[in-house]
Structure 1
């Protein structure tokens, strides 16, 4: 018995020594790294999410103007305005599938450059639109580009960044999305819908030019057998002092060169594939089930309840909150970790959506209306004695803060970190399709859901979903902070089935 215990202790000491040796080697390597050009490459890439944000934000200032325009060929009725806003999600779902194929076939860099084209062509068609169908076509094309962007950019950044800054760099994706939304809101206060479309076409044009000077990711180059080009890419990204050969060798030792856009039965039986795929799909689904689209749907009228007469300013305030706290998330991501932020974010959204439900319940009881509250017509703000607008405002601010800190940026970051190289394109496209598909379904069925469950019941349902995402995070989401992509994949393979 004593001999067995001694042998076990010896083996554990050996394993700990090997882990310590690997960590020391990694730390010694990272101490030589210079991040200047890595930040430059990340900046060029995140012009894609900035363009994506402009696409999402464009409809808010454009729809009111297009709904009252004098030209009958372009004037949108309520149904057409709804499609003008939501058809982007259909294009994005298609773009997610297309992007998964592109990153495996032509690489991350060329995929980013090519996705600039549908952005530019889409906005050009909107600018030149002579009828509603041209507006739809332009929105579908910009949505297609957004879907490709939402897949390719997190993947590109995760593969060029090292573990010390990967969380911060990856969080910049969502930061630039919300910055683009805010930029579209602000520009929409001063520009008409055609000039706003011209403004929105500028970021993707700049991205296409800048990406010409940026490298392909070393991991993709090594998967194509291009060792010399991979070492050159590492030297560009890490600086001249870091030994590029060491990083390339480390990637090669842990990689599988068989890249495929389809999954075989062997892949589906591999815990290194099906476990991260399940985690990625559920993260994307839970992100939409938090109720983010519902909160944003009510944002303008909630501000009107609180005596904010200028709804344009109100939407800018909402977007600014998102920008600030997404930036905070980016700063603390590599210190606090992904898992902790997801849990804190989930708790915040669970409580705030529950409070929203209370707001709607009390309001409907005040007016004797069990089916819910029509915010636009509500006299609550006129009667301070029964005014509940403070509860709605506090709930909205608390929700947006929580979402921006965790469930906004982290699902996209984790998606880019957890998949093996050989199935990254396919697995990422499934996750993006899940996200955009569920976004479209929830957005289009939201009113029906409120009619069925009442406003209060709908938000309590969202609160329950947020509670479930907390449980899911605790049980199934791995902590990826400070780990290489290869270590993360090994962790999935080593977990008990």
Structure 2
């Protein structure tokens, strides 16, 4: 079998043939793109399920407390236990996705989510409610890893970023739908609506191919070729892409089985630093504090909360969609830099609004500063830091460590989510403006981190990215 070096020498001697293959690849993408789009469309129902689960608790609090007689403490447990389930789901997500395949992991997680929703629907007390909430958390903990990984492994490099960004867009849409529907139906009916995206995902998985890279990794050669053929079109010349994937998999098989300790080897450490670092800055920059307590921020600053929440929800969806169209044009690093800079500006505006309120400076400016700060923050997060870290995470890890490294990154994300949510009220009690100045400082550090450490992955195959990261 030809080695990588042999192929490189052959390619260097025949530049016209290589160019013809590259031109043929354009035909591949246009001919088989409908299946890539369909596969992405089906998989992001897992992202919709993610958003539905996260958004469920806010509109159901008072109805649930009244119907079942929950105390505030019991409801707080119900609202937060989803993070515990998601952290455990994150720990197991990589192993599940590596053992049962990307589609298998999505089947398992969607089934678990459906069981969780049914437990919530039939609950007569706190125990079954908490169990259902925990199960939905476990399910979305798996989905938060496997959906972006699956999309990145099936998509052509020219569209990989845009398609992977749809993961974040559908999360945002799921949250918005849960908020909207929850305003008109009771909490039990809303739980039933949470089953719908999982059911669509479960059915849709019957009609889309498995990740060809995973099939190649586990040695299913015939299925690998068939999957790649379906994704690239029946008339496509897949020989070059097939050879690149096979050579990469063969080189990875020379390495021993990876453990968590191995992630800190110099061969992988940069990929781990990039993946973990982006998730740390995404969460510790204060996003969940602002998302969960936006109404409280608006009210404290004297801005009408209902108006603020509506504008906030619309902005989040629109800007996330815009980000999806830009990621493969502008690139990952520019969007991250712009996003982190906007988060810094938004945090400073909110901090100044509370500073003026505390010391009674310019009282008329306080509501405008708070509203503008939240809008700038949410818009900036939606355009880059919300989606791009998940895209980069799915790109930078070699397939032999993708399972365990992806689990680590997803766990860090959920742990950061819990830390920010748990500490926000404590920090605001300590100092409202100090809290947002602290978030601003973290966002400033994020800008430095992105500039110094994060690579640009636009327009490169996964094999090219991982080779450069680990060389």
Q: 2:435 aligns with which of 448, 452, 458?
A: 458
- Of residues 25-34 and 280-289 in structure 1, the stretch that sits farther from structure 2 once superposed is 25-34
Establish whether residue 253 from structure 1 lines up as the match of residue 247 from structure 2. Answer: yes
CA distance in 2 between partners of 1:16 and 1:295 (Å): 54
Contact 2:263–2:405 at 8 Å: present in 1 too? Answer: no
Say if 1:392 and 1:19 are closer, same or farther in 2 by CA, change over 3 A.
Answer: farther
2:427 to 440, 449, 469: 449
Instruction: Kindly state the Cα deviation for residue 49 of structure 1 after the two structures are TM-superposed.
Output: 0.5
Counterpart CA distance in 2 for 1:240 and 1:348 is 45
1:322-361 equivalence runs, <5 A: 322-361=316-355
The partner residue of 1:434 within 401, 406, 412 is 412
> Which secondary structure does the structure 2 equivalent of 1:331 belong to?
helix
Q: Aligned in 2, Cα 1:141/1:300: closer, same or farther, shift over 3 Å?
A: same
1:485 to 450, 459, 462: 462
Tell me how many residue pairs correspond in the alignment: 457
In structure 1, the residue matched to 2:75 is: 81
Deviates more, 1:409-418 or 1:230-239: 230-239
1:19 is displaced (CA, Å) by 9.5
The alignment partner of 1:130 has SS state of coil
1:356 is displaced (CA, Å) by 0.9
Q: Look up the match of 1:38.
A: 36
Paired residues of 2:260 and 2:404 also in contact (CA < 8 A): no
What do residues 63-94 of structure 1 show as CA deviations (whole Å, max 9, x unaligned)?
12223x1x4xx223222222222211111010
TM (norm. structure 1) is 0.87
Q: Which residue of 2 aligns with 1:370?
A: none
The yes-or-no answer on 1:134 pairing with 2:128 is: yes
Unaligned runs of 5+ in 2: 1-9
2:212 to 196, 214, 218: 218
Deviations 1:313-348 (A, max 9, x none): 643432221111110000011000000000000000
CA offset digits 1:251-293 (Å, max 9, x no partner): 011222369874276664342x221011101111110011111
Counterpart pick for 1:285 among 267, 280, 284: 280
Task: Give the 5 Å matches for 1:235-384.
Answer: 235-255=229-249, 256-257=252-253, 262-263=258-259, 268-271=264-267, 273-304=268-299, 308=304, 311=306, 314-366=308-360
| Residue equivalent to 2:156 | 162
Please state if 1:393 is matched with 2:371.
yes
Q: Secondary structure at the match of 2:418?
A: helix
Give 1:143's aligned residue.
137
Worse overlay, 316-325 or 276-285: 316-325
Which SS does the other structure have where 1:162 is aligned?
A: coil
The change in CA–CA distance for 1:267 and 1:77 in structure 2 (over 3 A counts) is closer
2:49 paired with 1:51: yes
Q: Deviations over 1:24-45 (max 9, x none)?
A: 7434313332211100000010
Residues 1:114 and 1:183: Cα distance change in structure 2 (over 3 Å)? same
User: Which residue number in structure 1 is paired with residue 102 of structure 2?
Assistant: 108
CA distance in 2, matches of 1:190, 1:366: 40
Show structure 1 runs of 5+ residues with no match. Answer: 1-13, 368-383
Q: What does the per-residue CA deviation read over 1:104-144, in whole Å, with 9 as the maximum and x for residues that have no partner? A: 11111111111111110001000000101211111100000
1:22 is displaced (CA, Å) by 5.9
Contact 1:115 1:145 in 2 (8 A): yes
Equivalent residue for 1:233, pick from 227, 235, 248 = 227
**TM-score for both structures, normalised by structure 2:** 0.92
State the superposition RMSD in angstroms: 2.3
Q: Which moved more, 1:463-472 or 1:77-86?
A: 77-86
Q: Name the SS for the 1:482 alignment partner.
A: coil
